[in-house]
Amino acid sequence: MLKRLIALLVLCCTPAFAVDEQVVLGLSQDRVAITATFDGSEILIFGAVKRETPIPSGPPLEVIVAVVGPSSPVMVRRKERKLGIWVNTDSVLVDLAPSFYAVATSGPLSDILSDTEDLRYRISIERAIRSVGAEMHIQGAQEFAEAVVRIRENEGLYSVRENTVAVDEQTLFRTSIKMPADLTEGDYRARIFLTRGKAVVSQFETTIDVRKVGLERFLYNLSRQQPVWYGLMSLVIAIAAGWGASTAFRLLREN
């Protein structure tokens, strides 16, 4: 009984563990509305580092900002030329791949983040993609995940922008993330990491809501919930547009 009492007193008297540096974040907008005329958006991400102690000596503070879109499985197929034509051969289902992934850093990523920390927190684009279920007979299964990265980089959906996070006095930071027009609806995660000596010392995460609104939302819901009416409406619009164009062309010829 005495030992339990002593242990309880020690526990009560021990100060709670406190993180030396914490992120205080701000966003220029936490909601992106996709309308019929939506052509992309740029989100300003800014924040500060909250400290209970003076700035630590040693390696400087670095900041990594990652904005991640909703993830879903992706089927990737390999094509080969046989008898003069291109045909699908092997295929691999990449278990999870973000629809959008943008990373902004205050320095070269390899200089401010170790491979161990990258593996733990899945910060780089390659680590954010999970591909496990390739069949045994498929050679070079990792190439399929690399193909997803390459294709989406070309489409502007994946990007790594090094040296684009401005850090002032190891306390204030800011950057901007460009989001393209063809965004997938859903919750986008904004992840912020503070690193020193390639090790993550603090992290913070918030959500950016991306949704279709207005006419774009109406058409999207109609196509999913009432596809018959959506098809009939599209047919009527196509007929009306064709009739209007032919009428206008005939009037121009007569005049």
For residues 131 and 117, what is the distance between their CA atoms, to the nearest angstrom? 19
Residue 157 lies in a domain: yes
3 domain-assigned: no
Residue 85 corresponds to which tokens in the numbers above? 């034509």
Reading the block at residue 139, the tokens are: 């050679």
Q: How far is CA 179 from CA 19, 77, 88, 100, 167, in A?
A: 32, 27, 32, 8, 22
Mark whether 218 and 195 lie in a shared domain: no
Residues 6+ apart with CB under 8 A from 69: 98, 99, 100, 101, 157, 183, 184, 186, 188, 210
Domain assignment of residue 240, yes or no: yes
Residue 196 lies in a domain: yes
- Sequence-separated (6 or more) residues with CB below 8 Å from residue 139: none
What global pTM score does this model have? 0.73
pLDDT tens digits for 167-205? 999 999 999 999 888 888 889 999 999 999 999 999 999
Residue 120 and residue 230 in one domain = no
- 167 and 60, same structural domain? yes
Closest to 177 (Cα-Cα) out of 192, 196, 167: 192
The verdict on 142 and 207 lying in the same domain is yes
pLDDT tens digits, one per residue of 61-88: 999 999 999 998 888 877 777 766 776 6
* Res. 99 pLDDT band, cuts 50 70 90: very high
Which residue is associated with the tokens 């063809």? 182
The reply to whether 132 falls in a domain is yes
